[in-house]
Amino acid sequence: MSKTKIAVLTGGGDAPGLNAVIYSLTRACLNTMDCELIGYKFGYRGLYLNDYIPLTMESTTGILHIGGTMLYASNKDNLFDYLVEENGKMVKKDVSNVAVENMKKEGVDVLVVLGGDGTLTSARDFSRKGVNVIGVPKTIDNDLASTDQTFGFDSAVNIVTENLGRLHTTIKSHNRIMVVEVMGRSAGWIALQSGIAGSADVILIPEIPYSIDKVVEKIEERDARGRFFTIIVVTEGAKPIHGEASVGKFVADSPDPIRFGGIAAKIATELEGRVNHEIRSCALGHIQRGGDTSAFDRILSIRYGVEAARLIKERQFGNMVTLRGNQMCNDSLENVIGAKSKQVDPNGELVKAARLIGISFGD
């Protein structure tokens, strides 16, 4: 009987913990099955170009703690709507059959896909075409409703919290206002948790539309107490009451073309002249994705990888690994895709706790 051949790819934005999943998946599979593994480079693009590398004990040694992904990633390559040249023009076509044929040619039995909404939507679509697929959820935004926590989120929160501490000392020295923009798209999890942990005074998240007047009130309240500096943490997708989120740019060739951005600078400009302080803005950007993976995320990623290996061994294809409470579980990709994103509950325990310690949400 021939060995089971397992292919792995990482799609979408990178996240701390991707390497740890690859590390644990490779080891758990090799230690429990007669198999070999390969990794497609740059996500679905590698699957289309048949560009891959072997995944072995040796090739994955030393990657557990490292952020990013050894397989590289792309957030633009949807093979069901892929940009190709035809008759001298660039057009979008469904080239998924090319990927299926590549897997057949290489003898791939199982495809393990590590990614977020867009990447896993394609995983579901490949499953519908008869490919044996296992999904592993990934996003630093922690906004996938199908699982209680995604790997990468804890690392991002730690990074933002550390940077808020650094900003705290400099703005206190100058009695300044600092508006710090963090990632999260339309979910405020990173801003909420890092803001609380990093001693923010104002936290603005998409789930609670804000009033600039209320932000001014908070600054004036702090001034009256002799606290002449204020830290404002804002999610990139936050929006004012009766307003829209700030769009940084539009990426036409991406499955998710809208890129939020610029909200921190916008708020800083709106505060100018309304408070008696120097005001600065700072967008932490991709710093939140970089560096080593936190201890929590390393453990969580190992659990995801090991559970994915179990699903492969038991041939439970068409499913995605999930975390429910403290238990590793799984759910059908058909159920997962299209589910409403997981957002912060404006009336939830964590928001209430933040309010009780004096944090304003601008409402």
Give the active site residue among 141, 143, 154, 201.
Answer: 141
- Could you confirm whether 141 is annotated as catalytic? yes
> Cα(first)–Cα(last) distance of the chain, in Å?
65
Q: pLDDT, tens digit, for every residue of 260-283? A: 889 999 999 999 989 989 999 999
CA 98 to chain centre: 28
Domains of the chain (ranges; CATH) run: 4-151+293-325 (3.40.50.450), 156-290+345-356 (3.40.50.460)
The predicted model gives 213-232 an average pLDDT of 96
Average pLDDT, the chain: 94
pLDDT of 159 > 90? The answer is yes
- Going 284 to 290 to 294 to 296, the CA torsion angle's sign is positive
Q: What's the average model confidence in pLDDT over 219-235?
A: 96
- The number of beta carbons lying within 10 Å of the beta carbon of residue 57 is 11
Alpha-carbon distance 50 to 232, whole Å?
A: 47
Lowest-confidence segment of 100-104, 115-119, 348-352 by average pLDDT: 115-119
Q: Mind listing the pLDDT tens digit for each residue in 36-69?
A: 999 999 999 999 999 999 999 999 999 999 999 9
pLDDT at 254 over 70: no
| Single-letter code of the amino acid located at 294 | S
- What value does the mean pLDDT take over residues 110-128? 95
Which one, of 141, 208, 160, lies nearest residue 361 by Cα?
208
